């Protein structure tokens, strides 16, 4: 038991356990599942390691809030925060362990079910997302874990060892109608309702290894779906209920598989010698997010639902685990221990931008976006000031940096919007996306939108009216950038499975790729229109490049030896072409940096006492 607790403390164990799956069904890639010892099942798990923990993010049905576990108050508690990380609320406020990956939103978002050890053993409770109206559901001196709501909200399924072995039960949220659904003398765990509520998928070791089974949600005949000499874990239904995705070590290492809900049509989606874990279908079933150890440490990946197009989304030497889709499919939330403590991040699927969501309450700059996060540096027309957005004073604010005086002061949000979006910010600001860009002559707005079912580049009038779609290829086309003469638009495209930079005429004609470096993105024109600046991921970190459109030569502008995990965002060139501003996490926080156009004379802009470029 002590060994299991020690394993559970490790964030790597969270990666392998399936993120919010069975606390007592820990999957180890070398040893398979290790059932929680029922005789010692009331032992608490110390998730703290002396540092705050933010793990297992679970979005509410409407996507507006996130439930998570944190030890910021001294022990593991269940929290809810807004989807942007603001207003975290401690729901449990108890000296015992609460949550520990075992919680779920009700279908209407009105309550959260979770496990708590406050009675001396693990019991099931529900609570409103503001922390009020706590209700105890189970009351039996045993361990009760992994509660999940039925789609109609009338039942809770969970696992309990009240008979000595783990069985699947169901009960009404008010504690009535308790019913044992499984009768096997072996262990059963991790129940998951089908979208129509008619079935439960779960795992059981009744055949000698941990396999996936299905049972009617009101009890009945149990059907084995995946029965191999290996272990299977973490079953999850597709949104139409036709398929189940899971992880298995049937080929000697943990990979992602999918099968029909009757167990037929088994398809292996990943094939690497490293462990893959926690697969989840996107709401539209077109993609699968998962965690992978193929890069030496856990990273978040996404792939098409048939296994093609496997794309790495995180690039950090820390452990990035527990992916969870937002209900609208536009983001993937995940946990990471980068920076020395565990926090929750999100990946915006439109452009794969990574956003910090949570931050420990005792950190400077803790706010809606998490930690200290600066973005979107934008030059003034005379090149003497840079506007940027930042999280300070627990809110999202806009700032102006005077480059001559080295002084930072608050800027008006309207000024920032005007710089970014032009007239559209005033007249149609709520409708325009954050990366909309005004042409230099002020006559056009270029922006990205998925209004037609795929992310494409559009053109509109300055007030946001009369939008015209410019791109039509499959794959996301995003991040438009105007050439200095406004005759061409550069943009980032994922049409070829990776990420490349294309250029097209203003009317959408004459598309052609100009940069096909790994993960090339965020194009920026030089003022003379002869070069493109862009970001590319190389060897586990981002680099900033300049490519001549005349000679085709590409030059790295960032220093060699950049540490793994460094990211670069929002590069922008000064009006005279002499200076570059961009955001990077080279120091651990996302800050605005500046360098000359060759990449030399780099300095951290927003912490400098005096800046005289």
Dump pLDDT digits (tens) for 242-284: 999 999 988 888 999 999 999 999 999 999 888 898 999 999 9
Shared domain for 432 and 493, answered yes or no, is yes
Q: Which of 356, 388, 413 is the last residue of a domain?
A: 356
In this prediction, residue 529 carries a pLDDT of: 95
β-partners of residue 244 are 237, 259
Do 94 and 219 share a structural domain? yes
**Is residue 269 a part of any domain in this protein?**
yes
Phi, psi angles (nearest 5°) of residue 339: 80, 5
Say yes or no to pLDDT of 222 above 90. Answer: yes
Q: Tell me the DSSP string of 263-296.
A: S-S-EE----SS-EEEEEE-TTSSEEEEEE-TTS
Task: Check whether 586 has a pLDDT greater than 80.
Answer: no
pLDDT tens per residue, range 492-523: 998 876 789 999 999 999 999 999 876 788 99
Task: Evaluate whether residue 366 is within a structural domain.
Answer: no
Q: What is the pLDDT of residue 424?
A: 38
Whole-number pLDDT of residue 42: 30
% of the chain surpassing 90 pLDDT: 39
The 3-state DSSP class for residue 241 equals coil
The pLDDT of residue 609 is above 60? no
**Which range is least confidently modeled, 231-235, 239-243, 428-432?**
428-432
Beta bridge partners of 66: 59, 81
CA atoms within 13 A on the CB side of 404: 4
Indicate whether 578 belongs to any domain: yes
What is the rounded CA–CA span in Å between residue 496 and residue 75? Answer: 47
In a domain, 613, yes or no: no
Alpha carbons 499 and 492: distance in angstroms, whole number: 7
Query: Rounded to 5 degrees, what are φ and ψ at 338?
Result: -60, 150
Q: Is 250 in the same domain as 391?
A: no
Residues 408 and 347 occupy one common structural domain: no
129 and 265 in a single domain? The answer is yes
The yes-or-no verdict on residue 399 having pLDDT over 60 is yes
The predicted pLDDT at position 448 comes to: 85
Other C-beta atoms lying within 10 Å of the C-beta of residue 192: 21
Is residue 588 over pLDDT 60? Answer: yes
Could you tell me if 421 and 561 lie in one domain? yes
* Cβ neighbourhood burial of 68 (10 Å; 0-12, 13-18, 19+): buried
Tens of pLDDT, residue by residue over 102-158, are 789 999 999 999 998 887 788 999 999 988 899 999 988 888 989 999 999 999 999
Domain end: 356, 386, 417, which one? 356
On whether residue 193 sits in a domain, the answer given is yes
For residue range 350-369, list pLDDT tens digits in order: 888 888 787 443 332 222 33
Q: Which spans in 461-518 are helix H?
A: none
Confidence band of 101 (pLDDT split at 50, 70, 90): low
**Residues 6 or more apart from 355 whose CB is under 8 A from it?**
345, 346, 347, 348, 369, 370, 373
Do both 223 and 327 map to the same domain?
yes
d(CA 611, CA 155): 62
pLDDT of res. 72: 66
More reliable by pLDDT, 387 or 280: 280
- Do 160 and 188 sit in the same domain of this protein? yes
Output the pLDDT for position 92.
Answer: 87
pLDDT bucket at 539, cuts 50 / 70 / 90: low
The verdict on 124 and 75 lying in the same domain is yes
In a domain, 398, yes or no: yes
Among 321, 356, 391, the domain-final residue is: 356
- How confident is residue 373, by pLDDT bands cut at 50, 70 and 90? low
Q: Tell which wins on pLDDT, 6 or 278.
A: 278
Question: What is the distance, to the nearest Å, from the Cα of residue 561 to the centroid of all Cα atoms in its chain?
Answer: 28
The residue among 547 and 352 whose pLDDT is bigger is 547
Q: How far is CA 486 from CA 152, 442, 447, 491, in A?
A: 54, 10, 14, 14
Q: Is residue 364 part of a domain?
A: no
Tokens of 296: 């030496």
Q: How far apart are CA 146 and CA 140, in angstroms?
A: 15
Q: What is the dihedral of CA 138, 139, 140, 146, to 10 degrees?
A: 30
Instruction: Report whether pLDDT(208) > 60.
Output: yes
User: Please, what is the end-to-end C-alpha distance for the chain in angstroms?
Assistant: 61
Q: Which residue has the higher pLDDT, 339 or 548?
A: 548
Average pLDDT score, the chain: 79
Distance between CA atoms of 439 and 488, rounded to whole angstroms? 10
417-423 contact pairs (CB < 8 A, 24+): 419/378, 419/380, 419/387, 420/376, 420/378, 421/445, 422/462, 423/462, 423/463
Q: Are 58 and 104 in contact (CB under 8 A)?
A: yes
Shared domain check, 399 and 265: no
CA distance 215 to 227: 15
The CATH number given to whatever domain includes residue 296 is 2.120.10.30
Indicate if the pLDDT at residue 291 is higher than 80.
Answer: yes
Question: Residues, the chain, total?
Answer: 613
Same domain, 351 and 246: yes
Instruction: Look at residue 341 and tell me whether its pLDDT is greater than 70.
Output: no
pLDDT at 60: 94
d(CA 437, CA 446) in angstroms, rounded, equals 5
More confident residue, 42 or 93: 93
338 domain residue, yes or no: yes
pLDDT band at 181 (very low <50, low <70, confident <90, very high): very high
Tens digit of each residue's pLDDT (9 = 90 or more) over 315-333: 877 788 889 999 999 999 9
Question: Number of structural domains, the chain?
Answer: 2
More confident residue, 298 or 391: 298
Sheet holding 521-525, edge to edge: 521-525, 531-538, 541-548, 554-556
What's the pLDDT score for residue 357?
A: 83
- Both 600 and 549 in one domain: the answer is yes
Residue ranges making up the domain that contains 393: 374-607
Question: CB–CB of 357/345 below 8 Å?
Answer: yes
What is the spatial distance between Cα 480 and Cα 470, in angstroms, rounded to a whole number? 11
d(CA 331, CA 323): 10
């Amino acid at each position: 038991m002590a060994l299991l607790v020690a394993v559970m403390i490790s964030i790597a164990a969270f990666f392998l356990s399936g993120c919010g799956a069975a606390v007592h069904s820990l999957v180890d890639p070398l040893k398979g599942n290790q059932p929680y010892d029922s005789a010692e099942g009331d032992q608490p798990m110390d998730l703290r390691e002396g540092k705050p923990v933010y793990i297992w993010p679970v979005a509410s049905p409407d996507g507006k809030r996130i439930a998570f576990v944190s030890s910021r108050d001294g022990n593991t508690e269940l929290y809810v925060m807004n989807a942007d990380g603001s207003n975290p609320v401690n729901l449990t406020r108890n000296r015992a362990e609460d949550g520990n990956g075992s919680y779920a939103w009700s279908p209407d978002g009105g309550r959260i079910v979770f496990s708590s050890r406050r009675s001396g053993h693990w019991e099931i409770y529900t609570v409103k997302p503001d922390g009020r109206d706590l209700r105890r559901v189970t009351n039996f001196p045993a361990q009760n874990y992994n509660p999940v709501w039925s789609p109609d909200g009338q039942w809770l399924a969970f696992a309990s060892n009240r008979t000595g072995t783990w069985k699947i039960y169901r009960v009404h949220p008010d504690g009535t109608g308790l019913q044992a659904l499984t009768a096997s003398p072996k262990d059963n765990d991790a129940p998951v309702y089908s979208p129509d509520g008619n079935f439960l998928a779960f795992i059981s070791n009744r055949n000698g290894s941990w396999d996936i089974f299905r049972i009617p949600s009101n009890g009945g005949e149990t059907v084995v779906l995946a029965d191999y000499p290996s272990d299977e874990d973490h079953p999850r239904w597709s949104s139409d209920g036709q398929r189940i995705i899971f992880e298995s070590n049937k080929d000697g290492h943990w990979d992602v598989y999918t099968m029909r809900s009757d167990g037929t049509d088994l398809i292996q989606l990943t094939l690497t010698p490293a462990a893959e874990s926690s697969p989840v279908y996107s709401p539209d079933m077109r993609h699968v997010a998962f965690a992978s150890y193929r890069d030496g440490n856990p990273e978040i990946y996404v792939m098409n639902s048939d296994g093609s197009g496997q794309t790495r989304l995180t690039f950090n030497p820390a452990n990035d685990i527990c992916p969870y889709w937002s209900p609208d499919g536009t983001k993937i939330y995940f946990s990471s221990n980068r920076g020395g403590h565990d926090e929750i991040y999100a990946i915006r699927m439109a452009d794969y931008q990574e956003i910090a969501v949570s931050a420990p309450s005792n950190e400077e700059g803790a706010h809606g976006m998490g930690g200290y996060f600066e973005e979107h540096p934008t030059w003034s027309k005379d090149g003497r000031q840079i506007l940027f957005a930042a999280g300070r004073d627990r809110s999202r604010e806009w700032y102006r940096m005077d480059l001559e005086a080295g002084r930072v002061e608050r800027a008006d949000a309207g000024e920032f919007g005007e710089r970014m979006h032009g007239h559209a910010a005033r007249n149609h600001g709520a409708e325009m996306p954050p990366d909309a860009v005004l042409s230099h002559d002020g006559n056009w707005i270029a922006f990205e939108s998925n209004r037609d079912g795929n992310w494409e580049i559009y053109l509109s009038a300055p007030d946001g009216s009369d939008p015209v779609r410019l791109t039509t290829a499959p794959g996301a086309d995003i991040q438009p950038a105007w050439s200095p003469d406004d005759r061409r638009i550069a943009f980032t495209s994922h049409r070829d499975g990776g990420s490349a930079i294309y250029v097209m005429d203003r009317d959408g004609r004459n598309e052609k790729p100009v940069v096909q470096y790994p993960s090339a993105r965020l194009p920026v024109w030089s003022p003379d229109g002869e070069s493109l600046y862009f970001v590319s991921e190389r060897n586990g970190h981002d680099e900033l490049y300049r490519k001549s459109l005349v000679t085709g030569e590409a030059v790295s502008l960032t220093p060699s030896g950049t540490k793994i995990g460094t990211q670069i965002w929002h590069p922008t060139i000064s009006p005279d072409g002499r200076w570059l501003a961009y955001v990077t996490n080279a120091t651990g926080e996302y800050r605005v940096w500046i360098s000359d156009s060759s990449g030399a004379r780099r300095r951290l802009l927003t912490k400098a006492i005096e800046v005289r470029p």
